[in-house]
Structure 1
Amino acid sequence: MYFATYKYDRAEEIGVVLKEDKRIIPIKDIFKAMDKDYPETMNDFIEIADDTLIKDMEEIMGFNNFKGIEEKDVKLCAPIPYPKRNIICLGKNYIDHAKETQGLPGGTDDIPKFPIYFSKIASPAIGDGDIILNHLEITDMVDYEVELAVIIGKDGINIKKEEVEDYIFGYTIVNDISARNIQRKHGQWFKGKSLETHCPMGPYIAYKNEIPFPVELDIACKVNDELRQNSNTKNLIFDIPYIINDLSKGMRLKAGDIVITGTPAGVGLGFKPFKFLKPGDKVECYIEKIGTLTNKFEE
Structure 2
Amino acid sequence: MAKQFVRFQYKNKIDWGFVTEENILPLQTGDKPTKDLLVDLQKKRIKLNSKSKKLIPRKDVTLLSPITAPCQVICQGANYHKHTLESGLDPKSKTYNLFFTKSDVSLTAAIGDVIRPNHVELLDYEIELGIVFGKDIDFPLDVQSYHPSEYIAALFIANDISARDIQLPQLQWYKGKSYRTFFPAGPILLVLEPGDYERIHSLELNLKVNGQLRQSAKANQMVFPPKESIAELSLFTQIRVGDVLLTGTPAGCALKAPGKLKQIFASFFPEHKKWELFIKGQKQRTEYLQPGDLIQATIRTADGKMDLGEQVLQVKQG
Could you tell me which residue of structure 2 aligns to residue 105 of structure 1?
Answer: none
Equivalent residue, structure 1, for 2:63: 76
1:153 is aligned to 2:143? no
Pair 14,63 (structure 1): closer, same or farther in 2 beyond 3 Å = closer
Paired residue secondary structure (1:61): coil
SS at match of 2:116: coil
- Corresponding position of 2:289: 277
* 1:251-270 correspondence to structure 2 within 5 Å: 251-270=237-256
Structure 1 residue 11 displacement after superposition: 1.5
The answer to whether the 8 Å contact 1:78/1:127 transfers is yes
- Residue of structure 2 in register with 1:34 after alignment: none
Q: Match of 1:140?
A: 121
Q: Give the letter for the 2:308 counterpart.
A: I
**Alpha-carbon contact 2:24-2:57 (below 8 Å) kept:** yes
Q: Distance in 2 between matches of 1:64 and 1:43?
A: 26
Residues 225 and 39 (structure 1 numbering): CA distance in 2 closer, same or farther, change over 3 Å? closer
Match of 2:96 among 114, 122, 147: 114
The answer to whether the Cα contact below 8 Å between 1:7 and 1:76 also exists between their aligned partners in 2 is: yes
1:247 corresponds, among 233, 238, 244, to 233
SS at match of 1:191: helix
Asked whether the equivalents of residues 14 and 31 of structure 2 are also in contact (C-alpha less than 8 Å), the reply is: no
Cα deviations across residues 136-185 of structure 1 (Å, max 9, x unaligned)?
Answer: 2x211000000000000010132344321111110001100000000122
- Uncovered stretches (5+) of structure 1, i.e. residues with no partner: 30-37, 103-107
- Tell me what 2:83 maps to: 97
Counterpart of 2:168 in 1: which secondary structure? helix
**How do 1:1-299 residues align onto structure 2 when only pairs under 5 Å count?**
1-18=3-20, 20=21, 22-28=22-28, 40-50=32-42, 53=44, 57=46, 60-62=47-49, 64=51, 66-85=53-72, 87-102=73-88, 108-111=89-92, 112-123=94-105, 125-136=107-118, 138-156=119-137, 157-161=139-143, 162-209=146-193, 211-213=196-198, 215-216=200-201, 217-270=203-256, 273-274=284-285, 275-288=287-300, 289-299=307-317
In 2, Cα distance between the equivalents of 1:63 and 1:183? 48
Distance in 2 separating the partners of 1:176 and 1:62? 35
- Residue 220 of structure 2 aligns to a residue whose secondary structure is helix
* 1:193/1:168 CA distance change after superposition, 3 Å: same
What is the SS of the residue equivalent to 1:72? Answer: helix
Distance 2:91 2:48 in 1: 51
* CA drift at 1:291: 1.7
Deviations 1:69-103 (A, max 9, x none): 11111100110232423x1000000001001122x
Q: What secondary structure sits across from 1:165 in the alignment?
A: helix
Helix, strand or coil at the partner of 2:169: helix
SS of the aligned residue for 2:187 comes to strand
Tell me the TM-score normalized by structure 2: 0.81
SS class of match (2:249): coil
SS of the residue corresponding to residue 14 of structure 2 reads strand
Q: TM-score, normalised by structure 1?
A: 0.86
Looking at structure 1, the residues matched to 236 and 296 of structure 2 have their Cα atoms a distance apart, in angstroms, of 37
Q: CA deviation at 1:285?
A: 1.3
Q: Work out the CA distance in 1 between the residues paired with 2:37 and 2:294.
A: 32
Is this contact kept in 1: 2:105–2:179, CA < 8 A? no
Taking only the aligned residue pairs, the percentage that are identical comes to 30
In structure 2, runs of 5+ residues without a counterpart are 258-281, 301-306
RMSD: 2.1
Indicate if the aligned counterparts of 1:164 and 1:241 stay in contact, CA closer than 8 A.
Answer: yes
Q: Which has the larger radius of gyration?
A: 2
